[in-house]
Every structure is written in C-alpha cells, then in structure tokens.
Amino acid sequence: MRKEIKTVVVLGMHRSGTSMTSAILEKLGINMGEDKLGATATNPIGHFEDKMFLDLNRKILNDAGGSWDNPPSKDSILNLKNKYKKEIKELLSNKIENWGWKEPRTSLTIDLYYPFLSNTYFVYCKRDEDDVAASLKKRNDMALEVGKKLKFIYDSRVEEFLNKIDDNRKIIFDYDEVLKSPEEEIEKLIKIIDLNVSDKEYDEALNIVMPKDKLNKLAQKRRKYDTIYRIKNLIIRGIKEPSRIPYNVSKPVKEISKSFL
C-alpha cells in the first residue's frame, strides 16, 4: 500500500532561518519546489523558496491592502478566501512525493491554505529579535524598532495558527539552537516528520549548517586525535611487546618507548 504523501510548511519571520530550514528539508528528501529563487548576497546558499507561492502570497497581501513589511489585518486576508480558493487548491494539488514550501509571507496567509492541506507538518523558525532586526537593517535599511515590531506581528500570527495544530505536527526550529547543535536539531526534524533518510542525505543536510571547510576542519581534528590514540597504543605495545610493532614504525616507536622504561 502506498504511503500517504507528507507536506511540510515552513513558517517564520523573514531573516529567521527559513531559507536554511528549507534547504535542510530539501536535502532530507522533501521537494521544496521546482522553480525556486536563487542565491543572493544576503542569502548565499539560496532562498529555497518556491516562486509560485511567492507570487500568490504577494497577490493576496496586496489585495488585502498590505505587503510583507506592512502586514494587513488577519480579517482582511480571511475575507479573500473565496477569491483565492481555486488558485490555492490548484497549487496544492497533484503532488506525487513528499513536498513542502517556504515563503515567509505564508506566516500571514497560512489560514487560507490550511483547509486544503492534508498530512501536513509545520516547522516554525525562530530567531532572536535583535538579530532579525539587525539583519533587516542590513538588507532593507529598516529601522531596528520597525523590524522588531514586524517580527512580533509575524510571530503572533504563526503562534495563533499553531495553537490549533497537534503537537506531533509542529516543530520549533530555533536558529541559534540549529547552529549550536545541528545534529540534534536535524534529527528532531527526521524523527517528528518520520523521514527515511540515507547517510548521504543526512550529511548533505548537515553541510547546510556546517559548511565543508568547517566539516573538513572537524574531520582533520578527529583524524589528529585518532593518530595520537594509535601512536599512544603503539608506544604502550612497544613497551610490552616490541616484536609486535609494525616494521615501518617500529624504530621510532621503540625509541619513544625507551623513555617510559
């Protein structure tokens, strides 16, 4: 019997790690869109953002009298449900594999999508408000206090929506926690969404958080420790049983071993 397709929706304020989260999910085997926004100076790994959801959310917010940085009221968005019902249903239909999307404006429009979603998991990206405000200041020259107020609106809408979602269908993905403990946080995604992930997919997801140069440094450090451990064991073995030391290392190890006698 064919397993039911899973949908993963990434929610959260702009500059809260939504792109990183979407990239991780894609590496874990979730199709996050066929036509995505590419990389920019402020998003060097890419946005991993489906352009079709971006276009639709822009239209909805504009029709509701607002924009991403001037959020319309929740009621003004809900009043558009009949107008966009068909377009939303078409966008969400005909999926043949585990899939999802990330587009921060969805934090404001999610109530329009929700009636047409099934077997869905929600990943809520959170980040310190000062860091979000500073990032918006850098990217959009937005005043810090304006950025904080905007984040509060987005977070409030997301949290109000998630209050009606079962705990086993929602995941808090804190930006700083992901950077601090990437393995633990990625494994949390895998466990809750119940994904069957290969070692290659897991490593690629981890590499989103820990770039190759950092992973290589960790690997070099690990190899250094392993080498020291092996040498230590050879020295101990050389002291106890010199004849068992491999020929190519026997002389230096035996010389070092003498200092322990």
Residue 105 phi, psi (nearest 5): -65, -20
In tens, the pLDDT along 187-199 reads 999 999 999 999 9
pLDDT for the residue numbered 224:
57
Confidence of residue 222 (pLDDT cuts 50, 70, 90): very low
d(CA 205, CA 212): 12
Stretch 19-23: mean pLDDT, rounded? 94
CA 69 to chain centre: 23
3-class secondary structure, 48: coil
Give the 3-state secondary structure of residue 261: coil
- pTM as predicted: 0.79
Over residues 116-146, the pLDDT tens digits come to 999 999 999 999 999 999 999 998 999 999 9
Strand, coil or helix: 144:
helix
3-state secondary structure at position 66: coil
| Predicted local distance difference test score (pLDDT) of residue 40 | 74
Architecture of domain 7-210: 3-Layer(aba) Sandwich (3.40)
Closest residue by Cα to residue 91 from 47, 35, 52, 61: 52
State the average pLDDT for the chain. Answer: 85
Structure tokens at 82: 């009949």
- Residue 226 pLDDT > 80: no
Of the candidate ranges 2-6, 70-74, 170-174, the one whose mean pLDDT is the lowest:
2-6
Averaged pLDDT, 75-80: 98
Question: Which residue in this structure is represented by tokens 């587009």?
Answer: 103
> Counting Cβ atoms within 10 Å, is residue 80 exposed (0-12), middle (13-18) or buried (19+)?
middle
Q: Is the pLDDT of residue 237 over 50?
A: yes
Q: Is the pLDDT of residue 205 over 70?
A: yes
| pLDDT for residue 243 | 55
Segments making up each domain of the chain, as ranges? 7-210, 215-258
Residue 36: predicted pLDDT: 66
* C-alpha–C-alpha distance, residues 154 and 89, integer Å: 24
What distance in Å separates the CA atoms of residue 75 and residue 61, rounded to the nearest whole number?
A: 12
Using CA atoms, how far apart are residues 173 and 213, in angstroms rounded to an integer?
24
DSSP state of 6: P
